[in-house]
Structure 1
Amino acid sequence: MNAPLTPPLDAAGLAEAFQVFARASEELTQAYGGLQQQVGVLTERLDLLLEALPAGVVVLDNHGRVEQINKAASAMLGSALVGSDWQPFAARMLVASDTPGEWELASAEAECRVSISETALDRSGGRIVLLHDVTEAWRMRRAAARNERLAAMGEMVAGLAHQLRTPLASALLYTGHLANTQLAATQRADVAGRAVERLRHLERLIQDMLIFARGEALGREAFGICELIAELRHTIEPVAARGGVVFDTDCAAGTEQVFGNRKEIAAALTNLLENALQVLGEGGRVLLAADLDGEAVRFRVRDDGRGIEPAMQDRLFEPFFTTRADGTGLGLAIARGVARAHGGDIALWSEPGVGSEFTFSLPLIVQNEVARTEELAA
């Protein structure tokens, strides 16, 4: 049995239907207009918020082009950035600094450092790049490090006077003997040698003082960690062999690199190695090793000597504190200064009768920043 057919609408029904449709269309139009007004208000507020933010904001579309840039970002990067490709621009303008996660602006007239973070826009496929100006924080860190060095130098003035007076008095005494015409040639040569040795001690002390006072590592470059280990092996191995000490090296850092003053870092590690050799007798062992610890490299200098008493461990890094008669007491203080100037530090583990281990840590600045630069330029 067929279903009954729907009766056709008469003219009155059609008119009523059109009136209902017209009212619904008007309500939808009003609702859409209200939504547009709300969107306009929100957009205006968002624009005001972006302009008021102290951080730089760069909005990228799904092709990596700059859609929008706020006032703070314009001040950092320039206002003609909208519509350009972000990655080539960032690779050209952002230069890796000596601090992980911080970048220098190549176009800035004055020193300017920024940190960068990115957030993906899931639906549009774009990204928001935030640039935080950390210049003042960096300057404060640098000033604090300088003030710390100045404070340490103030504390060492009295010790410096004593350290200089003793070898100087000895040198004056020996050179005074040279005026004695009754001295035999062999005695004169012996006195002259002693005077020269004391003067060289003075020269070494003054040189260490200048390095400690400067504090900052200048002339930085990228160099391989294992390359430095190999270089130090060639330098130290003959010295260890003459003293009957077994010297080993081990590098588990692969091709990783650091960024810093190679000469000063090598000198700091050499100082740690020479200290280890001096406390060992024949048959002792010294190990120089390097391994990775997260985003840092650890250079470890370990010996199986007599160890260091706990009461003495806290004083080892004090300027002019030394347990050797011919020591300046600045070697470990300088080594710690070099490590801190590169964003790292030195730690000590020691147990009497077992041995000691100094850990010289540096951040893997180059590895992180090169990877970041390559990502920006991709």
Structure 2
Amino acid sequence: MNAPLTPPLDAAGLAEAFQVFARASEELTQAYGGLQQQVGVLTERLDLLLEALPAGVVVLDNHGRVEQINKAASVMLGSTLVGSDWQPFAARMLVASDTPGEWELAAAEAECRVSISETALDRSGGRIVLLHDVTEAWRMRRAAARNERLAAMGEMVAGLAHQLRTPLASALLYTGHLANTQLAATQRADVAGRAVERLRHLERLIQDMLIFARGEALGREAFGICELIAELRHTIEPVAARGGVVFDTDCAAGTEQVFGNRKEIAAALTNLLENALQVLGEGGRVLLAADLDGEEVRFRVRDNGRGIEPAMQDRLFEPFFTTRADGTGLGLAIARGVARAHGGDIALWSEPGVGSEFTFSLPLIVQNEVARTEELAA
């Protein structure tokens, strides 16, 4: 009969082994309890930290549902959202603003703008969305821009008085002639026409001043770049043809859109085109083109006219500076104001004897911001 491989444990040995096991189990239980307590403390601290953060924090699970949201985010968004799908809420709540990277909250009681950033939480697909309230910074930028315009208007007071006095004096002179009973009917009609012309010039000057003073692009909408080019071609082509000027257009912007006041942008570009037509004679050429440059669209108005002297180029955008007797001197200043109100700008290239080109640049806000909205909401 074979001997057992291990000697049997006696009762004392079994008792000792059980005690060792019991002590180990108790130590493990205590250690686990300590870890749970530490996790609880850390979780509590993390919750306190999230609640104390001035930035909004939204934690999403791998299904895009809101798992956690801090107080700042709840205040900004007007809802706790826990358990809700982020996608439909973001699509409904976030509206692209005129500043790249900034959003307007559609349901906010007062004006509220936020910047948004996002990062992956872990490999499971969870994400953290951070919202920063930039409303005050935006208001300060807007106030600074308005103060700059008002300061410019203060410098223009003397020029404005002269600009208003001249057409008004002419209109008064012409209307005074109408009281002359000796005037023939044809002469009376001619004098009346001249008076109306001066009054219309005065009206245009006042309208331009109001646009310049406002400076903000109100009534914004999304519209196609090439659609605007086609609209301007339809408007300008007959005018160019009457003057014997060849007018061409070229749009390389595809289906890209911009977000802004379509009427004001069209008016600014029309002003640039009319300026070009007025300096050209029969056989001249004007090109209106649009192309993309990174995050911007560039509207270019080019002519083959006599060009602009370098000394005069620096003054062209000054309010009331004009080289034409019938000009208000505000067209280019307004065009620059419209561009800047939309986050863009206007630049001039000109060479005497060769021609000039004005570049009216605007950011591609809508395309980038819509894509970003879809990314955040997905």
Normalised by the length of structure 2, the TM-score is 0.92
Deviation at 1:35, TM superposition (A): 2.6
**Structure 2: runs of 5+ lacking an equivalent:** none
Distance in 2 between residues matched to 1:170 and 1:258, nearest whole Å: 43
Between 69-78 and 91-100, report the one with greater CA deviation: 91-100
Between 247-256 and 176-185, report the one with greater CA deviation: 176-185
Deviations 1:35-73, CA, capped at 9 Å, x for gaps:
323222221221111011001111111111111111111
**C-alpha spacing 1:20/1:242, structure 2 compared with 1 (3 Å):** same
Distance in 2 between residues matched to 1:68 and 1:187, nearest whole Å: 82
Identity %: 99
Task: Indicate conservation of the 8 Å contact 1:268/1:335, yes or no.
Answer: yes
Distance in 1 between residues matched to 2:322 and 2:77, nearest whole Å: 52
Deviation at 1:218, TM superposition (A): 2.1
- 1:359-378 matched pairs, under 5 angstroms: 359-378=359-378
SS in 1 for 2:346: strand
Deviation at 1:6, TM superposition (A): 6.1
Deviations 1:80-111, CA, capped at 9 Å, x for gaps:
41111111122222233333222222332222
Distance in 2 between residues matched to 1:208 and 1:333, nearest whole Å: 10
Deviations 1:186-210, CA, capped at 9 Å, x for gaps:
4433333322222221121112112
Deviations 1:152-206, CA, capped at 9 Å, x for gaps:
1111111010011112222222222333334444443333332222222112111
**C-alpha spacing 1:233/1:4, structure 2 compared with 1 (3 Å):** farther
Deviation at 1:7, TM superposition (A): 5.9
Match of 2:51 in 1: 51
**C-alpha spacing 1:155/1:44, structure 2 compared with 1 (3 Å):** same
Task: Indicate conservation of the 8 Å contact 2:78/2:108, yes or no.
Answer: no
Distance in 1 between residues matched to 2:355 and 2:25, nearest whole Å: 88
Distance in 2 between residues matched to 1:124 and 1:10, nearest whole Å: 53
**Structure 1: runs of 5+ lacking an equivalent:** none
Deviation at 1:329, TM superposition (A): 0.2
Structure 1 residue ranges, 4+ long, deviating more than 6 angstroms after superposition:
1-4
Task: Indicate conservation of the 8 Å contact 1:88/1:376, yes or no.
Answer: no
Match of 2:356 in 1: 356
Task: Indicate conservation of the 8 Å contact 1:91/1:373, yes or no.
Answer: yes
**C-alpha spacing 1:207/1:11, structure 2 compared with 1 (3 Å):** same
SS in 2 for 1:324: coil
Match of 1:19 in 2: 19
Deviations 1:266-297, CA, capped at 9 Å, x for gaps:
11000001111122222222111111122221
Distance in 1 between residues matched to 2:377 and 2:59, nearest whole Å: 18
Deviation at 1:17, TM superposition (A): 4.8
Match of 2:170 in 1: 170
Task: Indicate conservation of the 8 Å contact 1:308/1:350, yes or no.
Answer: yes
Deviation at 1:253, TM superposition (A): 0.8
Between 116-125 and 329-338, report the one with greater CA deviation: 116-125
Distance in 2 between residues matched to 1:164 and 1:52, nearest whole Å: 58
Cα RMSD for the two superposed structures: 2.6
SS in 2 for 1:9: coil
Distance in 1 between residues matched to 2:358 and 2:133, nearest whole Å: 36
**C-alpha spacing 1:119/1:2, structure 2 compared with 1 (3 Å):** farther
**C-alpha spacing 1:309/1:10, structure 2 compared with 1 (3 Å):** farther
Distance in 1 between residues matched to 2:80 and 2:294, nearest whole Å: 39
Distance in 1 between residues matched to 2:339 and 2:213, nearest whole Å: 14
**C-alpha spacing 1:12/1:275, structure 2 compared with 1 (3 Å):** same
Deviation at 1:245, TM superposition (A): 1.8
Distance in 2 between residues matched to 1:233 and 1:173, nearest whole Å: 39
Deviation at 1:2, TM superposition (A): 14
Distance in 2 between residues matched to 1:313 and 1:13, nearest whole Å: 104
Task: Indicate conservation of the 8 Å contact 2:86/2:377, yes or no.
Answer: no
Deviation at 1:244, TM superposition (A): 2.1
Task: Indicate conservation of the 8 Å contact 2:295/2:363, yes or no.
Answer: yes
SS in 1 for 2:83: coil
SS in 2 for 1:270: helix
SS in 1 for 2:169: helix
SS in 2 for 1:362: strand
* Count of matched residue positions in the alignment of Structure 1 and Structure 2: 378
Distance in 1 between residues matched to 2:334 and 2:248, nearest whole Å: 24
Normalised by the length of structure 1, the TM-score is 0.92
Distance in 1 between residues matched to 2:206 and 2:79, nearest whole Å: 52
Match of 2:346 in 1: 346
**C-alpha spacing 1:306/1:12, structure 2 compared with 1 (3 Å):** farther
Deviation at 1:316, TM superposition (A): 1.1
**C-alpha spacing 1:15/1:328, structure 2 compared with 1 (3 Å):** same
Task: Indicate conservation of the 8 Å contact 1:289/1:301, yes or no.
Answer: yes
Q: Does 2:247 correspond to 1:258?
A: no
Deviation at 1:230, TM superposition (A): 0.6
SS in 2 for 1:136: helix
